[in-house]
Chain A
């Protein structure tokens, strides 16, 4: 772990460099390789008649932007959830938030013909909220408080419920509901930038909440009684942070479907590097989350060429061993 602020700053710069490197790889690599010189040229002097410039501007760039945004959002949402629930296993994909958002998006788009990005986002928020409430309710202990084990079990159950609802549609009519696979598996391919722009205010709001709450979030890690003793009104902090989680995770699902494990593993990696101070954890999660998903999405193009693997499958491949490692640890505190 990096201790001095200078070391942490260097660490953060290195993380930023990693995100930049994976971002450039995501722009340059794929079915058509784009040489660095051409990449530069495409930015400095775009030429609409060049196929490579076209591919870069219309496909690779939107794809990289969405991958970065989704990765960062899921990682930050995971960090917030782990702080809020004081549970190392908490993450949008573990506690059913992603599955709830996905299920609502799927139902909304198939039965209510919701197609606009904003409409899908609102439906995703609603689904994320329903799932979160359901998990909180099921994870509650009889004498109050939320049990770390129960909440994870509740998350697993709620995830199974929402995923099976969506899969049920596939069984009814695989031809008609084929596009659901995209939401189930998670993918950032073939998206347009216009899908992302209407959602930016929500992501900005969540970022604002994070900035505003950094100090309070640091206190939330302490015991509930200590926090109260310090005169903190935890209710409002939790409500705001919860809203940010819903917007980050719901927005990510509305853009890319269910992408698991980014929200689980990135916060742990970041805390291992920077400690528990949210002033470092949250920017670290933003950069590393973006870098991880950009890297996974680039790798996904080369696993079984010329076919592409959905990026959600890639993150699951990376994340499952990590989840097992965490689950084997005794303490569930983050």
Chain B
């Protein structure tokens, strides 16, 4: 009895393996992709994609893909407003990023699963039995995530176009902000998040890495390893000292109360950035949770706004990011700016000539 059972189990388990060895002969070339936890093989371009990370969902939509299953957002549930309209209507929500519903994942019969090492390393063996699974090394590097997903879905070119546009915008911002601020550039900036019972000061992360790319500096004492530090006592307020402070927080009474208490404190009032009026309240979704290229572009939009810089990049509308020509239909004014920008000869360093 026991023997026959294990025999049967062997056949059931071996069947997909045998099939998968046999199938490629018909499906043509097999692509294999190296990722953080191994290698994934694809017989064809995946069409039923499941994203288990916020940044993977953002990247999928940036590539013009329509995921069949996504994990819930941390705010604006079930999905961030900036992504909501681009998601297909029948998309299945698979629970939290920290504990996705694996049965629901399997039920969707996906042909690509995208996760992130620090969240999904433990379930990777299960996931990779459900479908070919690629894992990003870190959630902080949206460029690597976009490249990985482009590679896995055969949209390398779209990914490269997006990244090229991003690099151009980064150059544009650096040029404009240094022209604008003169000797005050480069600025040192702190990234701070108010929570219900403590305040986080970020040394690393999505926003911090973008700020690094843009040429912002980290204040002294914020070079430590790891994501950053939790501040529980207001006597640590001086650790935030910088030329400017970016603050984000959720809309929540406990958070608002803590924010009120901390910002009323004399030590907050004596921070240089506070005295000079350089504390910018920014969107938590864009600065910390979106974690993909669409969020990164929105973050840059906010920065152009806060520094009063003219944003003349020919960035495509994020909602139609897959259209390759970069046509904008936001109205004649915007089109004009785009035309102006194209007429430039790209001389660097001088005012308003970026």
Contacts and interface: CB of A to CB of B under 8 A. Distances in A.
Interface of A: 30-32, 48, 51, 54-55, 58-60, 63, 109, 113, 115, 174-182, 187, 189-190, 192, 306-308
Contact of A63 (B196, B233, B253, B254): B233
B254 A55 contact: no
B250 A179 contact: no
A60 B266 contact: no
A192 B254 CA distance: 15
Given A176-B252, A178-B196, A54 B266 contact: yes
Interface in B128-160: none
A187 B238 CA distance: 22
Given A115-B253, A179-B254, A306-B229, A31 B236 contact: yes
B250 to A, nearest CB: 7
A153 B74 CA distance: 39
Contact of B238 (A51, A63, A180): A51
Given A58-B266, A175-B75, A192-B261, A182 B197 contact: yes
Nearest to B196: A179
- How many chain B residues sit at the interface, stated as a range, is 20 to 34
B233 A59 contact: yes
Interface in B254-273: 254, 257, 261, 265-267, 270
Contact of B234 (A58, A113, A115, A175): A58
Given A58-B266, A192-B261, A187 B235 contact: no
B230 interface: yes
B15 interface: no
A176 B72 CA distance: 14
Contacts of B74: 175
A93 B198 CA distance: 25
Given A51-B238, A175-B75, A58 B265 contact: yes
26 contacts: A30-B233, A31-B233, A31-B236, A31-B239, A32-B235, A32-B238, A51-B238, A51-B267, A51-B270, A58-B265, A58-B266, A59-B234, A60-B235, A175-B74, A175-B250, A181-B197, A182-B197, A190-B234, A190-B261, A192-B261, A306-B229, A306-B236, A307-B229, A307-B230, A308-B230, A308-B232
Give the residue among B74, B236, B252 with the most A Cβ atoms within 10 A: B236
A79 B270 CA distance: 46
Nearest to B75: A175
Contacts of B257: 115
B195 interface: yes
Given A51-B267, A308-B233, 12 more contacts: A30-B235, A31-B236, A32-B235, A48-B266, A51-B238, A55-B235, A113-B253, A115-B253, A180-B196, A190-B233, A192-B261, A308-B232
A10 B266 CA distance: 43
B212 to A, nearest CB: 22
B264 to A, nearest CB: 10
A189 B236 CA distance: 11
A57 to B, nearest CB: 9
Given A179-B196, A182-B197, A307-B230, A59 B235 contact: yes
Contacts of A181: 197
A178 B230 CA distance: 13
Contacts of B235: 30-32, 55, 59-60
Nearest to B199: A190
Contact of B232 (A58, A115, A190, A192): A190
Given A51-B238, A58-B266, A178-B195, A189 B253 contact: no
Closest 9 CB pairs of A and B: A179-B196, A182-B197, A179-B197, A55-B235, A59-B235, A189-B232, A178-B196, A179-B254, A189-B233
Give the residue among A176, A181, A187 with the most B Cβ atoms within 10 A: A176
Nearest to B262: A190
B273 to A, nearest CB: 16
Nearest to B195: A178
Interface in B145-187: none
Nearest to A192: B261
B267 A55 contact: yes
